[in-house]
Amino acid sequence: MQRKIAAEVLGTFVLVLGGCGSAVLAGDVIGAQGVAIAFGLTVLVMAFAVGPISGGHFNPAVTIGLIVGKRFETKDAPYYIVAQVAGAILAGAVLYLIASGLDGFDAADGFAANGYDDHSPAEYSLLAGLVAEVVLTAVFLIVIMGATSKSASAGFAPIAIGLALTLIHLVSIPVTNTSVNPARSTGVALFVGEGWAIGQLWLFWVAPIVGAAGGAMIWRYLLGDAKDMAD
């Protein structure tokens, strides 16, 4: 379990530092498309690097979704979720230290935090953000469940999962700045320095968890084959 916890801390750390770091430090250069690719790459490379140790969740919603999908033990979930949040906060702290080295930096400008209404990149409503986060997290879990099923081609799951996360970001960065991951949202919201980021954080825990549970059930009961049902 110690190795699994370390893998989840490291994987989530790299996801937040790489994905949110690309937005905070290089967003003006690479744009939303570049940020989307960065998030996908972080999951892809860390799933290959430490996925064999912990399964490569890096996301509390994924952990809970895999429990619903009968792919993960409930008793291990608290360890994973604490590790993921810790890795995300550590990444947020490192990113804050780096970004603070630029004159004029102000985390209150957003710091890659997720939001809705006035704090949505394109000022999308709470309802729009809720629907986007639920539906896209459900899609993410369907991809994860399918790519890691017993019938899937072995060794290719990280590629499919990384590309899925890239696609999700391409769709939803304008809506909520894309969460689909409560740890990612928490890791940067704590450093924004204004109350709105923490005040809106509830959505980016509730919606991804609901979506993940729904996506896992869709795969298990509608799309999975006999080998999956035997898990």
Q: In CATH, what number is assigned to the domain containing residue 220?
A: 1.20.1080.10
What are the percentages of helix, strand and coil residues in the chain, rounded to 5? 75, 0, 25
| Domain enclosing residue 216, as ranges | 2-229
Ramachandran bin of 154, using left for φ above 0, alpha for ψ from -120 to 50, beta for the remaining angles: beta
Average confidence (pLDDT) per 10 residues, the chain, 231 residues: 96 97 94 96 96 95 97 96 98 96 88 96 97 98 93 87 97 97 97 90 98 96 71 51
N-term to C-term CA, the chain: 21
Query: What pLDDT score was predicted for residue 226?
Result: 57
3-state secondary structure of 79: helix
Query: What pLDDT score was predicted for residue 224?
Result: 80
* Stated pTM of the model: 0.93
**Number of Cβ within a 10 Å radius of residue 68:** 20
| Cα 136 from Cα 210, distance rounded (Å) | 11
Total domain count, the chain? 1
Task: Identify whether the C-beta of residue 27 lies closer than 8 Å to the C-beta of residue 106.
Answer: no
Alpha helix (H) residue ranges in 100-181: 126-147, 157-176
Query: What pLDDT score was predicted for residue 59?
Result: 98
